[in-house]
Amino acid sequence: MSMLEIRNLSKSFGSLEVLKDISFDVKKGEVVAVIGPSGSGKSTLLRCINQLEHADSGVIKVCGTDMLIKNSSGKTVYADKKTLREIRLKTGLVFQNFNLFPHMTVKRNITEAPVCVLKKDKAEASARADELLKKMGLETKGGSYPCELSGGQQQRVSIARALALSPEVLFFDEPTSALDPELTGEILKVIKELAKEGMTMVIVTHEMAFARDVADKVIFMEGGYIVESGAPEQLFGENASDRVKQFLQRFNS
């Protein structure tokens, strides 16, 4: 079953075409890593899927529900507001810069959306937050504020906050890029555990070893296009295109 279907997706900012005819699928339980040089459109792709940017054309289907379609006259249109909200609740996005609410405690950062958006009972949301904090190794940090945590701890709180809404697909936008190298490992470990649990994930990353070891499929983007996609052994092996090999040399040198 496909959890995400993208067909011929395009997006421009003025005269700058950022996404050009993007098409790919993500199956249930699949981990897809999106790699490529800066400015290739990777983050914009995630933002379009998560309704933070409006695509210009194409088709997006999330968990079997049409989000963006071509109508009978060939015009690209979005689903109605109710459907878009339902889709939004099926996805979670972890940003590279954490985006935690600085005036809220760690625990409230995690419980706020379940209580206010999903209308969950506060006690139920609190119990779920405790469970997630323990999963992230942060069981003693519920009463702390984001400024009192390390970057790695803040990112783990961000992941817990996304998981609190029980998304069916989880997106990561370069989740380790704002971290010191010594803190990167703890975030990658959390994501690896989620992969083992069968979470469907799309991860924009510059961690090539992580993409090779964890992803079921790797997508290489450049200049707004998908240049190559396939299994990790293909893109990280001898059969990769010359452009992918050239890109990967930066990380192997």
The tens digit of pLDDT for each residue in 10-67 reads 999 999 999 999 999 999 999 999 999 999 999 999 999 999 999 999 999 999 999 9
At residue 184, the pLDDT reads 87
**Residue 112 pLDDT more than 90?**
yes
Rg of the chain on CA atoms, in Å: 18
Q: How confident is the model at residue 71 (pLDDT cuts 50, 70, 90)?
A: confident
pLDDT at 253 over 60: no
Per-residue pLDDT, averaged over 113-128, amounts to 95
Q: For residue 205, give every residue at least 6 positions away whose Cβ sits within 8 Å of its Cβ, in sequence order, or none.
A: 33, 34, 35, 172, 174, 175, 176, 211
Q: Which of 149, 151, 164, 152 is closest to 109 using CA atoms?
A: 164
Termini Cα distance of the chain:
39
Q: What is the spatial distance between Cα 139 and Cα 143, in angstroms, rounded to a whole number?
A: 10
The whole-number average pLDDT for the span 77-86 is: 96
Instruction: Judge whether 107 and 123 are in contact, CB under 8 Å.
Output: no
3-class SS of residue 185: helix
Instruction: Report the C-alpha gap between 131 and 119 in whole angstroms.
Output: 19
Please report the pLDDT score of residue 72 as a whole number.
Answer: 81
pLDDT for res 179: 81
Round to whole Å and give the CA distance between 130 and 153. 15
pLDDT in tens, 84-107: 999 999 999 998 888 899 999 999
Query: Would you say the pTM of this structure is higher than 0.75?
Result: yes
Among residues 183, 204, 185, the alpha carbon closest in space to that of 193 is found at: 185
Lookup: tokens for 33: 């890593």
